[in-house]
Homo-oligomer: A and B are copies of this chain.
Amino acid sequence: MTSNKRKSESAGTGSRAKDGAEISAALGGERLSLGVAARLSRYLQVLTQAKKMGRDKINSQELARYTHVNPTQIRRDLSGFGKFGKRGVGYDVDHLTEQIRAILHTAGKYNIALFGAGHLGKAIAGSEVFADHGFEIKAVFDSDPKKVGTQAGSVTIQPPEELRKTVLDEEILVGVIAVPAKAAPAVGTMLVEAGVTIIFNYTDALLEVPQGVTVHTSSPAVDLLYALYFYLQ
């Protein structure tokens, strides 16, 4: 669903499995197909939770139950990058988690600026999900002077004027918009001017951004609509 050209399944193409050392080489400059990346993200989510529940091992059938992905496909997705499992046993949760993180290039590398400290913003700031997946919310901004200086999660809320400097100082790549839809376009512009190149938009406003900046709009309602279509009747 992006405008990126699809590449073939990188490490997967007609190849035999790679061992750990070969993974990064195999990935080279190539990109995963959208489907593979989406599914790997979901496996990672389940693994993170399984770990929390004290699980050491997990097999493709269990992963299938929680992700709604066919078990054969799970094994196929994984085997494209290496032999991560043990036949007759399954996958080691820790090891597979590390491997998928490596594949997705997301081992704690990305810093986030969150704009908006209302209900949604505070829900995001207070959540562990981002930290669980290697993101760090480095700064939170709000236009309301009454909110500036108070806490959101473990971060002190800053005024919009400090956006540019903070984005630079903290090496922030990603801006998350959690303001009312009406305010979203203006906030988008501010984030772009501050130097953010990826915007995660939690409103359903349409944002106009210059070339080189990518907007990803995440709408709970659209998710629901889509999901319902399959679940109902």
Contacts and interface: CB of A to CB of B under 8 A. Distances in A.
Interface of A: 1-4, 31-32, 34, 37-39, 41-42, 44-46, 48-50, 53, 66-70, 104-106, 110, 118-120, 122-124, 126-130, 132-135, 173-174, 181, 197-198, 200, 202, 204-206, 214, 216-233
Contacts of A46: 206
A198 B229 CA distance: 11
B205 A49 contact: yes
A218 B216 contact: no
Given A49-B205, A126-B119, A229-B106, A200 B224 contact: yes
A51 to B, nearest CB: 11
Contacts of A132: 204, 221
Contacts of A222: 41-42, 44-45, 129, 133
Contacts of A231: 2, 197-198, 214, 216
A66 B207 CA distance: 8
B225 A200 contact: no
Given A1-B69, A68-B1, A233-B105, A202 B220 contact: yes
16 contacts: A1-B67, A2-B230, A3-B70, A41-B229, A44-B225, A45-B204, A49-B205, A50-B206, A105-B232, A128-B181, A129-B220, A129-B222, A132-B204, A200-B223, A200-B227, A218-B220
A231 to B, nearest CB: 5
Interface centre among A34, A105, A174, A221 (most CB of B within 10 A): A221
A46 B207 CA distance: 11
